[in-house]
């Protein structure tokens, strides 16, 4: 495992473990046996950064992570990151209440990396008004958090403002070869580095989409490059090629994914990709952008839908159909979603839209799915 230095001096594994997509049981609960084995394997092989949040797995991610670290006596061996999710904060006193709940759930008395979660211009203005800046200062002074940062899902102008509003140690942005002009994007990455912030890449595989078997045109591009690499390897190498990326977060939930990601992380140095390799990525990017219709990453923040629409699944099958030009995705949509969760059940209530980190106009997109699939 390679390590890069965060602002403040911590040596962090270039591969961080995202705790939003643990393996699940049929009822949706965390499969703790599998998740524990996977976490233990990753840590034993050098991963030393775990990233969780209160909303993940319906509120069960933090308690599971805390239990895992305590039972395995690993708290002192890893850097623990979690988040202050603004949608739980209605008034100033909620800041302290939520943080105390997180410490209890995580079975710890401090957080190494504490992020203000999923910021955009509107949510940042609200939290500032409720005193989040003084709150972060208080936590740092009391040594309850070691580093303050933020994760971001807004536009570039809001990103500049948030970076300038506080003495952050780090930021977390969606950074992959498809999203260089989306949200913070490349401009945000460069601005953060210029300001001295460590940068963490989230969604390096765009919710796993860039690790899947690619469309035929992309498959040919990779094959003709002369390199024997998986789709995931191309995408991860692209992110790690940037000197200013301290680590990337991978939502690994299969052992083969963990082993592959660790293997790739062992020899991917900043600036190591050749001009020819980067041209391969450029060609693949053009194809993906042409074929991908909906920018959903499958985070499931939009759920539950009050009308039971399986929003991420609807988008998954719709994208699959257009990426691969394969009727099987329509068949799978009908078989696995059926009439009880189909796109046409959407009544345009709009409850999902404020929750979407990607800012998708979900009801409008569901209409497109319904028109083709229902």
* pLDDT tier for residue 119 given thresholds of 50, 70 and 90: very high
pLDDT at 238 (0 to 100)? 98
Percent of the chain at pLDDT exceeding 90: 83
Quick one: pLDDT at residue 335?
85
**pLDDT tier, 292 (very low <50, low <70, confident <90, very high otherwise):** confident
d(C-alpha 356, C-alpha 92), whole Å? 24
> What local confidence, expressed as pLDDT, does residue 320 receive?
84
pTM for this entry:
0.86
Virtual CA dihedral for 307, 55, 206, 31, nearest 10 degrees? -90
pLDDT on residue 352: 95
Contact 176, 203 (CB under 8 A): yes
Closest listed residue to residue 132, CA positions, set 172, 175, 96, 171: 96
Mean of pLDDT over the chain: 95
Residue 28 CB coordination number (10 Å): 9
pLDDT (average), residues 189-197: 98
Ordered structural domains, the chain, with CATH: 3-289 (3.20.20.100), 311-373 (no CATH)
CB-count exposure of residue 139 (10 Å: 0-12, 13-18, 19+): buried
Could you please report the per-residue DSSP string of 334-345?
IIIITTTS-GGG
pLDDT in tens, 247-283: 999 999 999 999 999 999 998 999 999 999 999 999 9
Residues 82-117: pLDDT tens digits?
A: 999 999 999 999 999 999 999 999 999 999 999 999
Which of 6-15, 158-167, 349-358 is predicted with the least confidence, judged by mean pLDDT? 349-358
Q: How far apart are CA 359 and CA 367, in angstroms?
A: 17
333 secondary structure, DSSP code:
I
Please give the pLDDT value at position 261. 96
Answer yes or no: are the C-beta atoms of 247 and 49 closer than 8 Å: yes
pLDDT at 266: 92
Residue 358 in this model has a pLDDT that exceeds 90: no
Helices 275-291 and 216-224 cross at an angle (nearest 10°) of 170
Reply yes or no on whether the pLDDT at 182 is more than 90: no
Among 6-10, 239-243, 328-332, the least confident range: 328-332
Residue 319 has pLDDT above 90, yes or no: no
The answer on pLDDT for 234 being more than 90 is yes
């Amino acid at each position: 495992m390679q390590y890069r230095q965060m602002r403040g001096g911590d040596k962090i594994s270039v591969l961080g473990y995202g705790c939003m997509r643990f393996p699940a049981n049929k009822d949706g609960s965390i499969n703790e046996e599998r998740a524990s084995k996977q976490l233990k394997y990753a840590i034993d092989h050098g991963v030393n950064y775990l990233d969780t949040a209160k909303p993940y797995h319906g509120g069960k991610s933090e308690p599971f992570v805390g239990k895992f670290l305590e039972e395995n006596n690993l708290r002192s061996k890893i850097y623990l990151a979690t988040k202050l999710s603004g949608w739980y904060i209605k008034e100033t006193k909620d800041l302290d209440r939520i943080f105390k709940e997180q410490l209890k759930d995580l079975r710890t008395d401090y957080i190494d990396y504490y992020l203000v979660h999923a910021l955009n211009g509107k949510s940042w203005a609200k939290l500032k008004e409720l005193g989040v800046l003084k709150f972060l200062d208080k936590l740092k002074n009391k040594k309850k958090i070691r580093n303050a940062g933020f994760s971001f899902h807004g536009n570039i102008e809001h990103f500049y403002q948030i970076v300038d509003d506080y003495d952050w140690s780090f930021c977390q942005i969606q950074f992959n070869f498809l999203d260089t002009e989306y949200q913070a994007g490349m401009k945000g990455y460069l601005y953060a580095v210029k300001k001295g912030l460590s940068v963490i890449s989230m969604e390096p595989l765009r919710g796993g989409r860039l690790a899947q078997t690619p469309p035929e045109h992309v498959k040919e591009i990779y094959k003709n490059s002369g390199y024997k690499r998986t789709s995931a390897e191309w995408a991860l190498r692209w992110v790690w090629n940037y000197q200013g990326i301290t680590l990337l977060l991978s939502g690994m939930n299969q052992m083969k994914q963990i082993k592959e990601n660790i293997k790739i992380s062992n020899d991917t140095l900043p600036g190591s990709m050749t001009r020819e390799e980067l041209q391969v990525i450029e060609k693949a990017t053009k194809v993906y952008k042409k074929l991908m219709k909906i920018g959903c990453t499958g985070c499931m923040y939009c759920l539950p839908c009050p009308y039971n629409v399986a929003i991420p699944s609807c988008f998954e099958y719709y994208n699959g159909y257009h990426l691969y030009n394969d009727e099987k995705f329509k068949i799978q949509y009908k078989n696995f979603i059926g009439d009880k969760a189909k796109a046409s059940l959407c009544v345009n209530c709009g409850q999902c839209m404020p929750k979407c980190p990607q800012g998708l106009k979900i009801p409008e997109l569901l209409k497109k799915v319904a028109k083709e699939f229902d």
